[in-house]
Structure 1
Amino acid sequence: MTKQPPNVFPKLTEPNGLGTGPVPIEPYVSSDWFERERKQVFGRAWLCMGRVEQLPEPDTYIVKEIEVCGVIALITRDAKDKIRAFQNVCSHRANMLVHEPAGKGSRFVCKYHNWGYRNDGDCIGVPDRNNFFKLDMKTCGLTPIHCETWEGWIFINLQSRPEVTLKEFLGPFGEAFKDAPAPFADEAFTVNVSNMRANWKETIDAFCESYHVPVLHPMTIGTTFSNDSNPFSRPLNGVVRGAHRTMTTFGNPMFQPSPNSKVERLAYSNVDTGNTLGGAAAREVEAIQHHPAINPRRIPNWATEIVWMFPNYLIFYSPGGFFTLEFWQLTVNTTRWLARIHIPRAKDVRQRFQQEHHNCRMAEIFLEDVGNLERQQRAMESGGKTEILLQDGEFLLRHSIETIQKWVAAPTVREALT
C-alpha cells in the first residue's frame, strides 16, 4: 500500500466558503431555469470561444454557434492582426453570411445577393446599389460582438454594453493563471458530441469530480486516479476564485497497465507522459508543472489540474499536456459538448502510435460518461428525488450551482460577482 503524507486530502467545501446542505434538482430539469440561465448567465457572462491559435494568421476566421442565445459568432483575425467578433448575419436580408466552420479570407460575400464585407466588419459591396433608397454603406457593416483576449484565450460578451470588463470578470482567477502555458495549442484532436440528452450542468459536473472515476471507469482510468491509499480518488487541492474554480486530482504513482493490455503497454513503453491522460512526453510540456497555480501544493502524485472558467469552459492541465472541454446548452435537457485535445505533431511512428492510443482512450472515456449522463437525466426528470447530496470532493459542483443561483437572482453582473 502506498502511504500518503499527512493532510494530503484537505477539506475543500467549508474552507472555500461553501454550504454543506442538499442541492436542488430543479435547475437540472426546469424549463424556467433554462430560460433564466439563458438570459442571466450566458447572456451576460464573458464566454470563452477557444484559443488564438485557431486563428493562426491574419485573414483567418472561425464560426462559433452559441445556440443557447441564438447567436452565430464570426470571429476573425484581420489584416492588422486584431481579433474581432461579429454576428454572422448579412445586413441586407439577414441571411447567414459565412457557412464554413473555419477558413481564410479577407472578405466575405453573402451567397444570397452577393453583398460583400471585409473581415473588419465594413460593408464594401452592394450589387445594384443605386436601386436602394438612400443607402448608406457606412451603416451596413456587420454587427459587432464585444471581443477580448486573455493569455491567448478568446472571449466574447453578448451584451450590447458589457457590464464588467473581461479583467473584472476573471478577477483573482485571471491573476492566478497569468502566463499559464498552452503547449501545442495549434494542434488538436477534436471530439464533438452534438446532441447529448442531458442538462449542460449535469454534463459539466461529471468532469469536475473524481469520486465516480473508480466506479464508472474501472477498465479505462479507474486505477490511474485511485489506489489503496486513495480508493475513492479524493482531490489533493481545490480553490474557489470568484466565479471560477480549480481542483487538483490524485494520480496513482504505482499505475501500470494490466498485463493483458498489450497495446497500452506498447504505446507507453517508451513515453513518459506523467499519466495516461497525457498526449505528450512530460519533458515537452514541463512548463505546465512549473506554473504556480497548477498543482499549487506541489504534491508529486497529481494527475490533473481541472480549471473551470465560469460558466461552461474547462481546461485540464496534466504532466503530459492539456485539453479543453466546452458545454453548450441547447435545451433544458440537451447539450452540445466539444473536446479539443492538444498534442504535438508526431515526430516518428512510435509517437504517432502513442498519440492514437491516447486519443482512442479519451474517446472511450467520453463514451462511458455519455451513457451514464443520459441515464442520469432521465432519472432526474422522473421526480424520484428533488435534491442531490454532495460530498466534500464534489465541491466544484456545489460552487457551480451556488454561483449560477447567484447570477440568476442578481439584477446586475457586478452584484453577481461580489
Structure 2
Amino acid sequence: MGKAENLALPEIGSHALGTGKLPVDHYVSPQFFELEKKHIFRKSWLLVGRASDLKEPGDYQNFLVDTLGVSVVVVRGRDQQLRAFYNACTHRGSRLVNSSTGNTRALVCSFHGWSFSLDGALINAPDAALFADLDPAQEHLKSISVDVWGGFIFINLAEQPEWTLQQYLMPLGDAFDRYLGNKDWSWSFGWRANFRANWKLLVDAQIEGYHVDMTHRKTIAGTVPGSSTAAYFFPESVGVPCGVSAYRPEDSSRGVQTPLNLLSAKYGATSIYTKPERTFAAEGGEGVLKEDHPLWIFDNYLLFPNIVLFVQKGQIIIQRTLPISADECIWEVDFYHTEKPASFGHIFNMEQGVIQIRDVLSEDLYTAEGIHANFKCGAITHVNLNKQEVPLRAYYNRLLSAVQGGKVKGAP
C-alpha cells in the first residue's frame, strides 16, 4: 500500500530533481552557514509557539532565535491581536522580558523603567524632561511580522516578508489550517537536546523512509516498513518542499514485537499502528489528510527551513531544529494531543506510546553526530540518494535556491 497515485498527490521521482551525487559541503561549511543565517532564517516564516498558550490580554512568550541571537516577544493585545516585537527597549537596548512566558499589563524595562503598551507604544519614560529630544512616537518597539496558521504562531524577521504565511505554506492550505487550528489540541510533553552536528542532519532523518527497516528494526519496522512509505515533493511551494506518508502493511501484526507492546495492544486503547479498521473515516473524521485511506498512519511534512510536522489521528508532533553554528544545533520536540485518557488501559497505551516514540526518535537522531564528524573530516565528500531518499534532494534544492536568492517555481 501507500502508492502516491491513490492519494491524488504527485509521486516523487528522482528524475524530477536530478540523480547525481550531492556534495556535503553545505553541512560543514561556515561560509554556507552564514548564508543560511542571512537568506534563510532572516527571511523564512519560523514557528515559535501555539496561539492557545496566549489566550488573555497581556499573555506573552519570549522566544530566542538561537541562530541569530534574536530575542522576540509575542504578546496578546487588549484588542485580542497577537503582535511580535524585538525584545529590546528603545532607550538603550536592554531586554524587556526575561522570563519565557507570563502575563503583564505593560512591557517594562528593568534597567531605567521605560514602559510600553501591549501594542508597542512608549507610554512612560521616567524624568522625560531630562531628554533634549524625546518623541514618544519615534520610540515605538520594533515590530516583527507575525501570523497564525493551524493554531501555531509564526514570525518572519524580514523587514517586508516576500510571502504571506498562507502563500508560504501552500500546498497544505485551508484543510490543514482547519484541522490543526480548530481542534482542542493540548501540549502533552516535549524534549530538548543539543547536538554536535549540523542542523540539517536532524531534519534529514525525518523526511525519508529508506532508513526504517534497519534503523528501526527493533521498534516500528514491522509496523511501518520503508516499503510502505510514500514520498512527495512540491516544486511550486516556497515553504513545503517535501513530505512523507506512512501506511501499515496489509498484515501489521509483526509490528507488535515486545511483551509491553502486546499488553498495550491487548488492554489499551486501539492503536492505529496495529488495527487497520481504526481510521478517521470510520470514526466520523473530517475528511482531512489521508484519514479515509484504510491503512494510513501518519504524514510528515517539512516546513522550510527547520520544522518537521508529524500529523496523525489525535496527535501532532512538532520537531524544530535551531542551528547555533555549522557544527552545533538545538533540537526540540513537542507533542500535542486531543484525547484525554478515559481509563487505565488508555493511560497505559498512551504512556507506552511515549516510550516507543522516545526510542524511535533516539534511533533517528543517534547517527547525526557520527555523520557530521565524517563529513567534516573529509571521510566522505558526496552522498548517493535513492528514490526513497529524494525528499532530501528536494530539501537541498530549496536550500540552494534560498541562499542564492533564487525564486521557487510558482512562487509569487
Q: TM-score, normalised by structure 2?
A: 0.87
Q: Does 1:88 align with 2:87?
A: yes
- CA-CA distance at 1:272 after TM superposition: 1.6
- CA-CA distance at 1:320 after TM superposition: 4.4
Q: What's the % identity of the aligned pairs?
A: 26
Q: 1:195-214 counterparts in 2 under 5 A?
A: 195-214=194-213
Q: Distance in 2 between matches of 1:21 and 1:284?
A: 41
Structure 2: 5+ residue stretches without partners: none
What is aligned with 1:333?
A: 327
Q: For 1:171-222, what per-residue CA distance to the aligned partner results, in whole angstroms no more than 9, with x for missing partners?
A: 44435645333544233311112x2111111110101112112212222222
Matching residue's letter, 2:269: V
What is aligned with 2:72?
A: 73
Mean CA deviation greater in 32-41 or 207-216: 207-216
Distance change (3 Å), C-alpha of 1:28 and 1:34 = same
Q: 1:10-409 counterparts in 2 under 5 A?
A: 12-14=12-14, 17-174=16-173, 177-181=176-180, 183-193=183-193, 195-226=194-225, 232-240=226-234, 241-243=236-238, 244=240, 245-256=242-253, 261-268=258-265, 269-275=267-273, 290-291=287-288, 294-295=289-290, 299-343=293-337, 344-409=339-404
- CA-CA distance at 1:239 after TM superposition: 4.0
- Could you say what secondary structure the match of 1:233 adopts? helix
- CA-CA distance at 1:85 after TM superposition: 0.7
Distance change (3 Å), C-alpha of 1:256 and 1:97 = farther
- CA-CA distance at 1:121 after TM superposition: 1.3
Q: For 1:34-59, what per-residue CA distance to the aligned partner results, in whole angstroms no more than 9, with x for missing partners?
A: 01111111111222223322323332
Asked if 2 retains the 8 angstrom alpha-carbon contact of 1:13 and 1:19, the reply is no
Q: Distance in 2 between matches of 1:360 and 1:6?
A: 31
Matching residue's letter, 2:196: R
Mean CA deviation greater in 261-270 or 22-31: 261-270
Q: Distance in 1 between matches of 2:167 and 2:378?
A: 39
Q: TM-score, normalised by structure 1?
A: 0.86
Q: Distance in 2 between matches of 1:238 and 1:116?
A: 49
Q: Distance in 2 between matches of 1:272 and 1:22?
A: 43
Asked if 2 retains the 8 angstrom alpha-carbon contact of 1:233 and 1:250, the reply is no
Matching residue's letter, 1:274: I
- CA-CA distance at 1:275 after TM superposition: 1.9
Distance change (3 Å), C-alpha of 1:259 and 1:12 = closer
* RMSD, matched Cα: 3.1
Q: For 1:358-407, what per-residue CA distance to the aligned partner results, in whole angstroms no more than 9, with x for missing partners?
A: 22222222222332111111111121221101111112111000011011
- Could you say what secondary structure the match of 1:218 adopts? coil
Aligned residues: 402
- Could you say what secondary structure the match of 1:187 adopts? strand
Distance change (3 Å), C-alpha of 1:299 and 1:198 = same
Structure 1: 5+ residue stretches without partners: 227-231
